[in-house]
Amino acid sequence: MNAMTRREALSTVAAALAPKPSKPIPVGVATNRFRDHTNATLAAELKTQGVKLIQLFFTQTDSDYWRYGGRSDLPGMTPERAREIAATYRASGISIHSLGVYTTLIHEDPAERKANLGYFDLMMKTGGHMGVRTFITEMGHYYPPGPAPQVPWDFRDDVWHTAVATAKQLGAIAEANGATVLLEPYHVSLLASAKRMRLFLEETGSPRVRALLDPANLIEVNDLDEMFQQLGKWIDCIHAKDRKYHTSAGVAAGQGDVDYSQLVTLAAARTPGVPLIIEYVGSKDYRPALQYLRDALRKAGLAEA
């Protein structure tokens, strides 16, 4: 075998050090604000914009069950009906990444927590009929009766420990259903920062309980880089919405202070292949938000899956 020349050696080193092409990034739409559509008309509408992925909430006129922070018995949602809804989207070339749950997991009443875990179990079984194995939620909000406490509910010691125990139960339910739950942080909730969320996931200790990063929910307390440093290995999905600093209301992508150039670059580098899902949009305003995200990807030299 001939010895490698200096030029060949330098070429080999350069090839090894060259940046690798980024994986294409899936782009999707959360359906919670599309309440003016049936599942069929929504699938047809999203197809016109080349949408291939959704985060499905049961808010359409023919499957109107979902309420933020609540629960439902899903009346009429038979296995056949669940399969029919999934087939409607897939016929339009749209995959269902996950189902939105967003019930309250930090309620003071153990019976309420148990009932909400039961709702999760029902949603997981319904998702199983649809071929969907990922479910998303926040920890929820709870305001105890009476005067405002000196320490807010979400930051009480006992609430933290109870929430971890509840998340462990949720992980066991997910395991039994072959499912994964993604928790979403928010700066005025139990999961109030990227670090606090990482600590919560570590203490929960379940491979079935992971993270949905929503940068707009944390920009008040974390920089984008810090979010990915703390949560990178846990992130299975990223919400692409926006928020102005020092405000409580979220807005569509491009209308707030999230640096989308930095966001998509970090997402490509730290969580390759993880989907970006636009949120806080409905029929009348999703197209500009979708285009804003696509433009951010294009300007960063990144491809949409």
pLDDT digits (tens, 9 = 90+) for 153-177: 999 999 999 999 999 999 999 999 9
For residue 72, the tally of other CB atoms under 10 A from its CB is 15
Cα dihedral 239, 244, 246, 247 in deg (nearest 10): -80
Give residue 16's pLDDT: 45
User: Among 31, 29, 30, 67, which residue's Cα sits nearest to residue 49?
Assistant: 29
Rounded to 10 deg, the angle between the 79-91 and 39-48 helix axes is 20
Q: Give the integer Cα–Cα distance in Å for 32 and 30.
A: 6
Asked if the model's pLDDT at residue 4 lies above 80, the reply is: no
* Start-end of H helices in the chain: 6-17, 39-48, 79-91, 110-130, 157-177, 194-204, 215-218, 224-231, 260-270, 286-299
Whether 13 contacts 262, CB under 8 Å: no
- The 3-class secondary structure across 75-131, one letter per residue, is CCCCHHHHHHHHHHHHHCCCEEEEEECCECCCCCCHHHHHHHHHHHHHHHHHHHHHC
Closest CA to 212 of 191, 243, 226: 191
Mean pLDDT of all residues belonging to the chain: 94
Please tell me what DSSP assigns to residue 304.
B
The SS3 call for residue 213 is strand
Q: Is 109 exposed, middle or buried (0-12, 13-18, 19+ CB in 10 A)?
A: exposed
200-244 pLDDT, tens digit each? 999 999 999 999 999 999 999 999 999 999 999 999 999 999 999
H or E segment and range at residue 56: strand 53-56
**pLDDT greater than 70 at residue 265:** yes
pLDDT at residue 220, as a whole number = 97
pTM: 0.93
The predicted pLDDT at position 149 comes to 87
78's tokens: 């038979």
79-97 burial code (b ≥16 CB/10 A, e <16): eebbebbbebbeebebebb
21, burial (CB in 10 Å: exposed 0-12, middle 13-18, buried 19+)? exposed
As a whole number, mean pLDDT of residues 251-273 equals 98
Summarize pLDDT for 188-202 with one digit per residue, the tens.
999 999 999 999 999
Token reading at 87: 């087939």
Q: Is the pLDDT of residue 1 over 80?
A: no
Would the pLDDT of 13 be above 90? Answer: no
Q: Is the pLDDT of residue 6 over 80?
A: no
Which domains are seen in the chain, by residue range? 23-299 (3.20.20.150)
Q: How confident is the model at residue 5 (pLDDT cuts 50, 70, 90)?
A: low
8 Å CB contact between 283 and 34: yes
Which amino acid is residue 32, in one-letter code?
N
- Distance of alpha carbon 110 from alpha carbon 113, whole angstroms: 5
Q: What is the dihedral of CA 274, 276, 164, 32, to 10 degrees?
A: -140
